[in-house]
A = this chain, B = another copy of it.
Amino acid sequence: MPERAVAGGKENSVETPVESTRERLLNIAEQRFGEGGYEGTSLRAITVAAAANIAAVNYHFGSKEALLRAAVARAMAPVNTERRRRLDQLEAKGDPSAEQLIRAFIEPGLDLVLRRGERGPVVARFIGRVAFDPSQRIRELYAAESDPVEARYLAALQIALPRAAPESVAFGYVNMLGLLALHQSQALTRAPGLEPADIDGGEDPGKLAENLIAFLVAAFDRGLRA
């Protein structure tokens, strides 16, 4: 390892942990891709902000797109894990309700990612933006990193809502995906004549999750075709 290594010693566990070049690149990539999108962010902007050489991207990841893929995988991993854990837990207790499913899906996307420290909102915006990037290629890249758990939620929702047609549940499901991504990316806080606090429930990020869940539960329960 070069320069300052993150050895198992005590110094790094107390003081500020030293990030490796690879970690710095992923962190800055999350931030910049989340702000400007994939096409709108250059590797040079990322490497300058990460205090890394531009060749470091191709050394550690191979290409710009591979850097994005690695950042998506790292950002989604804890969300997918938590979603899988909560769905397992719900299904172990019997047939979960639509509200339980919606909550178990939304909260890992907003809570987990909005709470912890400074980087939470950055990760959330990154995920939300990549999920609905203008380029179909990028959206497919994202889908490849997040698919496995999500399909289980759709199936569980179909069972929880037997009175709604399967296509209608699927319709509600994609609406849930879209609204979650939009709130994660914080693109909805700039509506005409609105202040951000009017939408996200003020200082408490948890209220946003509650508002969104209530909104979706009502729509799923009474807004789908039979």
Q: Is residue A203 contacting chain B, with contact meaning CB distance below 8 A?
A: no
Measured CB to CB, the residues of A under 8 A from B are: 35-40, 129, 132-136, 139-140, 143, 147, 150-151, 154, 166-168, 170-175, 177-179, 182, 187-194, 197-199, 201, 211, 214-219, 221-225
Contact A178 B187 (CB under 8 A): yes
Contact A147 B182 (CB under 8 A): no
Residues of B within 8 A of A192 (CB): 143, 147, 150-151, 154
Secondary structure at the A interface, as helix, strand, loop or mixed, is helix
Considering the chains assembled together, what is the distance between the CA atoms of A223 and B40 in angstroms?
Answer: 36
Contact B223 A218 (CB under 8 A): yes
Answer whether A135 and B215 are a contact pair too, CB < 8 Å, given A167-B199, A179-B175, A222-B222.
no
Residues of B within 8 A of A193 (CB): 147, 151, 154
Contact A174 B188 (CB under 8 A): yes
Contact A170 B154 (CB under 8 A): no
- Contact among B143, B167, B177, B223 with A188 in the assembled complex (CB-CB below 8 Å): B177
Closest residue of chain B to A213 (Cβ to Cβ) is: B223
Contact B39 A190 (CB under 8 A): no
Interface centre among A35, A140, A168, A219, by most B CB within 10 Å?
A219
Considering the chains assembled together, what is the distance between the CA atoms of A40 and B166 in angstroms?
Answer: 36
Contact A178 B188 (CB under 8 A): yes
Considering the chains assembled together, what is the distance between the CA atoms of A166 and B194 in angstroms?
Answer: 11
- Contact among B151, B178, B201, B221 with A218 in the assembled complex (CB-CB below 8 Å): B221
